[in-house]
Structure formats: structure tokens, C-alpha cells
Structure 1
Amino acid sequence: MGQPSVRAPREYEPVDARTILLVGLAIILAAAAALAAQLLTALIGLVTNLVFHGRVATSLVAPASGHPGPAVVLLTPVVGAILVGIMARYGSAAIRGHGIPEVMERVLFGESRIPARVLVLKPLSAAIAIGTGGPFGAEGPIIATGGALGSLAGQFLRVTSDERKTLLAAGAAAGMAATFGSPVSAVLLAVELLLFEYRPRSLIPVAIAAAVATGVRAVFQGTQPVFGMPTVAQPGMVALGVYTALGVAIGILAAAITRGTYAIEDAFERLGHRFGIHWMWWPAIGAVVVGGVGLIEPRTLGVGYDNITGALDGSIVGRALIVLVVLKFVSWAIYLGSGTSGGTLAPLFTIGGGLGAWLGAHLARIAPGLGVDPRVAGLVGMAAIFAGASHALLASIVFAFETTRQPMGLLPLLSGCAASWLVSLLLSRNSIMTEKLARRGTMVRSEYAADHLAHVVVRDVAPRDVVTLRADDELASVRQWLAGGAGGATHQGFPVLDDELQLVGVVTRRDLLDPSHDDAQCVRAVIRRSPVVVYEDSTLRDAADQMVLERVGRLPVVRREARRQVVGIISRSDLLTAHAPRLEAAHRAHRARRFPWRRERGAPSGG
């Protein structure tokens, strides 16, 4: 009788042929997402031009530049909000909000499946909400639309859930890159908020998608930075300290904004329950505030990318700037909390950049010796509020650089964003992206650590003293041995060897004591499957995956050159025990070395 085959773990491959397939799909997806971004931008421009300027055009213009009358400013956002509410109620409630938390939820719990109707309704509702004066950026809906494109492609193709997630992230990154011309920060944002991993097989398609989308954008809009500003100089050490302190202040503000926006959302919930107002009408209530604020400061209406540029290049300063910041926040927070469709990034950039530039200008006037540049302060404020609110540190820093092309701003960006991230984490565990998920009972951690089990080799953990059984032993003697409780008899599983000490299979205690097997039968008769093993140079991650895939609780350990020679055994409890060094390294503080002039306690003093 031939020996049964041995099932060992698959060899680790960082990339394979399917990665190449994903890259090809990502290229097509990126081109589609970039074109969708151009289409959505044109659609927003069309709605804006129609309702505020009375003309048919697709250029992205400020609603206030046409000097509309008070009735138009006040009523147009309300009409748009009613249309969005109807679309959300009778089309899909998933179009409510700024999109990224909803995409994150589908990645985490929906196998990255986004309904097809969202692909149409999200950009259309956003175009109406923003085009009628909503104080949002186009980037949130574009990112959500790109993600929906990737998800839909992954639903029609025969791919795994992980591959569908990669396509979703590639589409989302392509959307962001096509909006701002920021491919690197788009990839980093996908890693920090959508992929929840850093692996070549997912990162490569996303990176190529972002690059392709940026190339498509350059064809339509050129390669100039989105937020152009005069060249800034390298800051001194004192100024760097000021920018870091600015990051601390912005981090406090970011945490407050996160709590404030969701407090407003809760207020709408209470309002609706108390007065019986369906949530489809909430955006119309919020739009009343948008119109009212727009009467006071028309620049709060619409996308407002020009406001960000104005804060960074110094064309909007003083009282006008701080009024714009405050009113933009009021208008955006209330309208977003009402449940309409729009983005969060552009409003955050306006608030953070404007506040930073305003504080920087005051410091430059009061204490010129500090060497603070208001433009750099605005740049730090713009990025730091993004880092503090989204908890996406690297994406925030690189985004500010890519959209302004200011290399001398990288150092203050690094210190200011890191300070903001630190403070916001101390004040609020959840970001503006994950707070909604947390309220639904889902905790999303903002940190990604290397898999500890992937760095521990099986040979370093697996016990070498293996209790084995012989295939030709009678069950009667084996059962008697188990009942006696001798050394090793309390184990739950045993490798079975033949007369040549080669592995035949594994039996459990339950198999051996099964009354359906007669005492006269041999151990070989109760083996139910071919042996499942793990190599001694495999990682514990390989062993854990093998246990899950094969649905076993223990694995014989063998050498690659001798796949039936048992040299150890590893169980699920060994995998748990292997985490002890990781936990000790994280929680046990101790001094690795002592200062030479410090004497050990109790040691003789000499003399």
C-alpha cells in the first residue's frame, strides 16, 4: 500500500501572476476613475453655472463670482438638499455623508462590495449638493466613486475578496490623484485608510493606478500644482519650534472638529425623532444655514479650492480670512451633520490653512524675530488639521508637498503634522473617518504592526519531545495506556509512525476512544486523512494558516528534505504562547544598561 501524500504549507510568494492581472485591471480602472473625476468636476461646474450664473458651462467657478441675489443664495442650497434627500431615500442611503467611512465599512465588513447604484447616485448627488452651494470639496465623492468603480469591477470578475479590496483601493487612490494631482499621497491615504495592510501584491496595483490617473489628469488640466504659492525659504530652528507648536494647537482643533461634527449629527437625530422629521428632510434644514452663511460670506459656498490658494499665497488675509474660516466651519459642519452628500478634505484644508496663515501673520507682526512665514504657517495648518482629523500622518505631509511643490516646507510639515497627530490621538481615539464606524460598534485601529508570527520560525517554538504512536499498535493497548495517565498520555493528538519511523498520519484522543472502533483494530485504522505537516523552517504564520485551512489543532514538524520524519509538533497553544515575548517587549519597561557610576544596590563599597 502506497504512502498517503503529505500536505505542507504553500510557499510564500510576495507577488505572482495574479498580481500582474491586478496591475492590468488597475490601469484600466485608473483611466476610468480619472475620466469619472473629470466628468464629476464638469457636472459640478455645470450645476453651479446654471443656478448661480444662468449659463451653460462646465468650468469650475465660485458661486459668488456671479453676484447672485439674496433669494438665489438662500434658496438654491435648500432646493439642492431636497433633491439629495429624495435620491438618498428612494435610491440609496449610502450616498449620505462624505463617502470615505462608508467605503471603509464595505472594506472591513462587506467584502469590498459596493452596490452598483452608488456608482451613479453618489457623484450625481454630490454634483447637486456642491453645485447648489454646498461647502464641500469634490474629492470625497470622487474617491468614493473611484472606489465604487473598483468594487464593481471586482464583483463582475472572478477574484478573491482581498483582490477586490485592492481594486477598490486602486480606484479610490486614482480618484484622489485625478482630483489633486497627488499620486504618492493618494497611495498613502489608501494604505492608511482603506487597505489596512502594506503588501506588494496590493500596493503595486494601487501605486500604478495613482500614477496613471495623475497622467490622465495632466492631459486635461496640466501639471501645475493645485494650490500654487510663492516659493518659501528654509525655516530656522526657532521658527520650526513655532510650527510644531502650531501643530499642537491644530491637533486640539482637529479633535474638537471631530467631536463637533458628530455632535451636530446627533442633534439632527434627536431633532428628527422628537418632531417626527424623516432624515430625507434633514439636509434641507442644514441647507438653510448654508444659504444664510452664504449671504454673510459668499466665499463659503461651493468647492472653495480658490480659498485654500488664497490662504496659502496671502491673497486672503486678516479679518476676512478668519471670518471665512469660522463661517466655513459652521456651514460645512452643519450641512455635513444633516446627512447630505459631500467631501471633508477641502473644507478641512480651508479651515486649517486659513487659521494657520492667520496665526502666522499675527506672529510675524508681533514677533518678527521668530522668523515665522505666514505662508508656511498656512501650509502647516492645512496639513496638520488633515493629519489630526483623519489620523493619516504620511498622507497629510506628502499631500501638502505634492499640491504646492514647496520642498522647503517638508521639515515644518513633518514636525507640525506629527505634533497634531499626537495631540489628536491623546484627545480622541477615533478619527473623523472612523468615529462613525465606532458608533456602529466597530473599532478601527489606526496602527499597523508587522505580523509577529511571521517573524518567528517553527523550530524555535515547537517542542522536540514528541509522543508518537505506532501504526500497527492495537487500540486495546493504546486505550489502556491512555487510561493509565502515563507521561504524554494526556495529549490531545498524536503523530502516527510506521515501522520505519515515517509519518503516516495524526490521530486525536477522540479518534482513539471512539467506541465504533474495535479494540482489535490497529491505530492505522482510525487515521482519517493524509498527514498535514509544517516545515521546521516555516514561520508560525504559515503554521497558523495551515491549521485554519486544514481545520486541525496541531501539526507535526518535519524537514523539507525528509517530509515524513517528525522532528517536533506544534499546537494552537504554542502559537498563543509565542506572543509572550511581543507582549513583554511592549509592556515591560526595564533598563538594558546601567550608568557606569551607578553602583548596584547591595554591592560592597570597597575601601
Structure 2
Amino acid sequence: MSERFLRPTGIVSAARRIFRSSEASFILLAVGVGIAAGLLAAMLGATAHFFQSTLYGLQVDDRLSGLAHIPPVRLLALPLGGLVLAGIVLLVRNHKRTAIDVVEANALHGGRIPFRDTMLVSGQTLVSNGCGASVGLEAAYAQAGGGIASLIGQWLNLRRNDLRVLVGAGAGAAIGAAFGAPLTGAFYAFEIVIGAYTPASIAPVVAATLAAVVTARTLGATPYLIAATSSQSLATVDYLLYAVLGLVCAVVGIALMRLVSFAEASVRRTKLPEWARPIVGGTLLIPIALASPHALSAGHGALHLTIGGELAIGALALIFLLKCLASVVSLGFGFRGGLFFASLFLGALLGQILTGLWMLIPGVVPLSPVDAALVGMAALAVAVVGGPMTMSLLVLEATHDFGITAVVLTATLCSSALVRERFGYSFSTWRLHLRGEVIRSARDIGWMRSLTARKMMRAAPATALPTLSMSDFRQQFPLGSTSRVLLQDRSGLYAGLVPTAAVFADLGSAERAISELAILQNVVLSPEMSIASIMEAFDVSGADDLAVVDEDRRILGMLTEKYVRKRYADEIDRSQRDLYGEN
């Protein structure tokens, strides 16, 4: 999208003032975004189903993962989809930057998502899911909803926090429309995209998700309903047993995320061209699909078949392993998508498998496979995607049962706590971490990157030659004139720092060179270091002052720890005022 298009006109500037000053108008804007997100979610879902219906001969009510058998010739759709992705990779190969998703946009870029990135992520995910690869459409839903919100917000030139809330509202609205679950969509926005739950964001986010769900239902879109209900009354011991299930799901979730990253790294080490990877991946998925079609696509049809289907433990375990393998192969070889619904499906399988094993022990407290499936579904999804309230509300909106929801919340909190303690990332932030980012959630840390040493440093600090004598230094820099002096050799390069007080306190010969008292010769700041890195450098070195130098060690300026920490505190206060809508 061109800068000319995003440049505010007089009308847009007036609208921006209205949205900044009136909460009601901003809520109306969020409703408009929700309607757009609902339309996009319905379109994406219908398009993906059309692709799968055409390629696999599905009927209107069929789901690919719910088929009992797929003719082998139909499975050529998998490498065919990889071929289409290869073409997309070749088209964008000169675009070196990785596409920005909604989580990264809100964490680092103030909610700004380039229109091109929205089209790229949504298109690649649509092709991947449409050809049957073991990935979900949720990444496309969130990207499309958040992307259209970002585009509108940038056009209106909204302030940073308002844009982040609007992007979260758009992404959550699209997810809510896909599942027919407005509360799930709202908390997806709060926990996963915005990274905070504040009074200022409640009304616009909830309004957007409600508008999206109503829009999708009006269009006749089929939501991803999870048809299951709790089958027994729950006692205190059930809470304890399902809490343990939550911990097991956390371990499995961590293992799954590490397996995907290991597969991606292994594929990169093969030197296989990037464009060829999805073609090879699609070919590798064929034998998995022949063994069990339940491993294909996101897993909606298979979830309905397996919850309460009274399958044997061996059959459930086989489907679980094949689905894990299919997801790892799909993502490892370049198919685009996420593990949102796959983790729900895998968690449901895991809950039933563990319940079956538990019931083999004589005299134990009986557990319901359906309840275990619901608990495992939410707990594993929390481990992979994050958002304990999001997944708990998904179960509530699916079952309308507060009893099982309370147990699910217990398990999801246990799962979330263990993942944070032992791993620290969701699937989206883990992949960003592997790229070298420091994101652990969608909380806004972009301002920390923009606040660099170059922007904060004091230019033209006091400097002196290292060969200057003690007596000459005392005459040139009397006490009170400056607290420190940077040493700069005759080539103009940094040679250390001398505290003024240390020179005046020295009792040695006044003719000695001040270089003898120089400190921090090898501890410097680069101009592009962020404020977080700068504070870490001060902590490690124990210094009060540090020089800012370029690549050639030429002095650019100086920073004091006191000033840096004051700027950090001021920015934290400002961001909190923006977050809570205070003046």
C-alpha cells in the first residue's frame, strides 16, 4: 500500500480527531472492522472448502480429515499445492524481509502490517490448507482480520495504542467468526494479539467480535463447532487428575514446537531450494494420508469422529502420531499455517488416550473420555498457542457447561504455567525467537527498539588525548566542569574513559599520562543498540557512563546510566497511560 494512500487528508484528519477523542466513535470503527473481518473469514473458509472439494471430490457437508479413505490419485493435490507455493516463493524471492504477522506487528511495529504481508500470509495459508496440508486456516483468519484493521488504522493515522487495539480486534473478530464464538475471539485478541486486558480495550474488541460472528452467520458460514458435552458430574479428585493432564499436555506441546523447529532447521541444512521444499513436503504427506486421512488439513472432521467415538487406544495413538508427523512435515517443508486447530485435535486425542490407559488400572476413579478430550483439547492448545482464558471460553461456548469449563480452566492454567516456566514461548513467538527476536508475547516492546543509543546520547562530550598529563588535565577540566572525560587518540579513535574525580584524587606524579587511569577501554555502546541492550550493558559493566562509538571506534557521543533509566521509566509511564486511555 503506497504512502500516498496512507497520507491523511483533511477529512481523514478530522475523523482521526473524532476517533481519538470519542470512545463511542472508536467502538463504531471497531464494529466496522468486525464486519469486514467476518466477511473475510467467511470468504476464506468457503474458498478453502471449495479448493478441497474440487481436489478431493468432497460433498457439501464433508470435511477432508473426516474421510475414511482417499483415492491415491487425489492425493497428488498435496505436491500440486506445494508447486503453487513454490511459484509464490519464486515471485517474492527478492523480498528479503519475512512477512509480519499480527503478533509481531503488535509487539514490535505498533500494529502496522504492510498490505503485501497480509496478502502473502493469507494467500500462502489458504493454498496450504486448500490442498490438504496438515495446517489450519487460523493464521489466515487472524492475518486477514488484523491486516484490514491495520490498513484502516494507518489510513486514519491512529495513535499507536489505538492501532494495536484495532488490530487485535480485527484478528480476534476473524477467529470468533470462524468458530462462531465471540468470547473466544475477544480473548484471543486480549491474550494473544494485544497482550493485555484493559478497560479501554474491552468494548471495541467485544463489539468487533460480536459484529464478526453475526456477519458470518448472516452469510451462512459454517463455524468450526466442537460438538461435545460433559457426560458426568465432576468431583474434587477430577480437578486433580485433569490438572495432571494439563501438565502432560504442556510437555507434549513443548515437544511438538521443538519438533517443528528441528524439522525446519534440518530441511534448511539439506540445501534444498526454498521453492522446492513444499513440493517435497507434499510428496512426503501422501503415504501419511494413505495410512490415515485424519492427519490431513486442520482436523475438523476428524475431531468430530474421534470425540466420543469409542475408538480403541491403539487407533487413537496411531492417529495422534500420524497427525503430529503430518504437521511437522507440513510446517517443516514450507507449507504456511498454524497449529491452532491441530493442537485442539491432538489434545482431544491425547486426553482420550491417557484416559484409556488410566482406566486399565484396577480400582481407579473413573474418568469420562469425552471430558478428558475437552480438557486435553484446551490444555494442549494453550501449551502451543497460548491463552488459557481463550481456550477455556472456547470449551464453554461449545458445551455451554460451566462445570467442565471450571475443570478446563484449571488444566489450562497448569499447562500455561509449566510452559512459561520451562519454555517461555507460544508457537508464534517461538518461531520469532528462532529468527533472533526477543518477543515472548504481543505486549508492545517496539518503542524499546526505536529508543536507541543514537537517539538518547549526548553529542560532543568532553574529550582529551590519552597522552595528556595529570597536571594539564586538572587545569583543562577543573572539578565540577564534568564528571568524566572520554579519551580520543590522535587518529580520533576511542581509547577509554577517565573519571575527573579519580584524576584529582591521584597522589602520583603530576606528569604521568592520564591514560594510566583510563577505564572501560573495551566496553562501548553502538549507536543502534536498543534501550534494553543499553541497560544490560550498564548492568554487566557496572559503569555509570559509557561512550557511543561507530564501527571504526570513533566517538559519537556518551550516555549515562541515570539518564537511560529515567528515559526508560518515562516511556513505561507514557505507554501505560496510552494503554489505559488516561490523559
Relative to the length of structure 2, the TM-score reads 0.69
CA distance 1:87–1:573, shift in 2 (3 Å): closer
Q: Which has the larger radius of gyration?
A: 1
State the alpha-carbon separation in 2 of the partners of residues 574 and 161 from structure 1: 23
CA distance 1:198–1:230, shift in 2 (3 Å): closer
Indicate which of 22, 36, 40 corresponds to 1:36: 40
CA distance 1:168–1:418, shift in 2 (3 Å): same
Letter in 2 for 1:417: T
State the alpha-carbon separation in 2 of the partners of residues 412 and 448 from structure 1: 28
TM-superposed CA distance for 1:91, in Å, is: 4.3
Query: Contact between 2:379 and 2:411, CA under 8 Å: does it hold in 1?
Result: yes
Please give the residue correspondences for 1:423-462 in structure 2 after superposition, counting only pairs within 5 Å. Answer: 423-446=418-441
State the alpha-carbon separation in 2 of the partners of residues 128 and 484 from structure 1: 70
Equivalent position of 2:279 in the other structure: 284
User: Aligned-residue CA RMSD in angstroms?
Assistant: 3.4
Query: Contact between 1:232 and 1:408, CA under 8 Å: does it hold in 2?
Result: no
CA deviations on 1:159-195 (whole Å, 9 max, x unpaired) are: 2232222221111001100011222222222222221
Indicate which of 336, 340, 344 corresponds to 2:335: 340
State the alpha-carbon separation in 1 of the partners of residues 379 and 371 from structure 2: 12
- Is the aligned partner of 1:23 residue 2:27? yes
State the alpha-carbon separation in 1 of the partners of residues 255 and 479 from structure 2: 67
Equivalent position of 1:112 in the other structure: 111
State the alpha-carbon separation in 2 of the partners of residues 76 and 31 from structure 1: 33
State the alpha-carbon separation in 2 of the partners of residues 92 and 219 from structure 1: 40
Query: Contact between 2:103 and 2:442, CA under 8 Å: does it hold in 1?
Result: no
TM-superposed CA distance for 1:143, in Å, is: 1.1
State the alpha-carbon separation in 1 of the partners of residues 568 and 68 from structure 2: 69
TM-superposed CA distance for 1:199, in Å, is: 3.0
CA distance 1:58–1:439, shift in 2 (3 Å): same
Query: Contact between 1:95 and 1:341, CA under 8 Å: does it hold in 2?
Result: no
CA distance 1:94–1:340, shift in 2 (3 Å): farther
Equivalent position of 2:87 in the other structure: 86
TM-superposed CA distance for 1:391, in Å, is: 3.3
Please give the residue correspondences for 1:38-57 in structure 2 after superposition, counting only pairs within 5 Å. Answer: 38-53=42-57
TM-superposed CA distance for 1:59, in Å, is: 5.5
Query: Contact between 1:45 and 1:131, CA under 8 Å: does it hold in 2?
Result: yes
CA distance 1:96–1:285, shift in 2 (3 Å): farther
CA deviations on 1:441-460 (whole Å, 9 max, x unpaired) are: 322245979xxxxxxxxxxx
CA deviations on 1:560-602 (whole Å, 9 max, x unpaired) are: xxxxxxxxxxx969969999xxxxxxxxxxxxxxxxxxxxxxx
CA distance 1:221–1:310, shift in 2 (3 Å): farther
Unaligned runs of 5+ in 1: 1-14, 450-482, 492-570, 580-607
State the alpha-carbon separation in 1 of the partners of residues 132 and 97 from structure 2: 17
State the alpha-carbon separation in 2 of the partners of residues 141 and 214 from structure 1: 17
Query: Contact between 1:88 and 1:94, CA under 8 Å: does it hold in 2?
Result: no
State the alpha-carbon separation in 1 of the partners of residues 86 and 105 from structure 2: 22
Please give the residue correspondences for 1:386-405 in structure 2 after superposition, counting only pairs within 5 Å. Answer: 386-405=381-400
- Is the aligned partner of 1:298 residue 2:293? yes
Unaligned runs of 5+ in 2: 1-18, 445-477, 484-561, 571-583
Indicate which of 57, 69, 72 corresponds to 2:71: 69
TM-superposed CA distance for 1:408, in Å, is: 1.8
Equivalent position of 1:509 in the other structure: none
Higher mean Cα deviation, 173-182 or 118-127?
118-127
Letter in 2 for 1:104: V
Equivalent position of 2:154 in the other structure: 155
Please give the residue correspondences for 1:401-416 in structure 2 after superposition, counting only pairs within 5 Å. Answer: 401-416=396-411
Please give the residue correspondences for 1:531-546 in structure 2 after superposition, counting only pairs within 5 Å. Answer: none
TM-superposed CA distance for 1:357, in Å, is: 1.3
TM-superposed CA distance for 1:240, in Å, is: 2.1
CA distance 1:222–1:235, shift in 2 (3 Å): farther
Query: Contact between 2:133 and 2:296, CA under 8 Å: does it hold in 1?
Result: yes
State the alpha-carbon separation in 2 of the partners of residues 360 and 96 from structure 1: 46
CA distance 1:323–1:447, shift in 2 (3 Å): same
State the alpha-carbon separation in 2 of the partners of residues 484 and 318 from structure 1: 81
Pairs aligned (count): 443
CA distance 1:372–1:92, shift in 2 (3 Å): farther
1:134 aligns to what SS in structure 2? coil
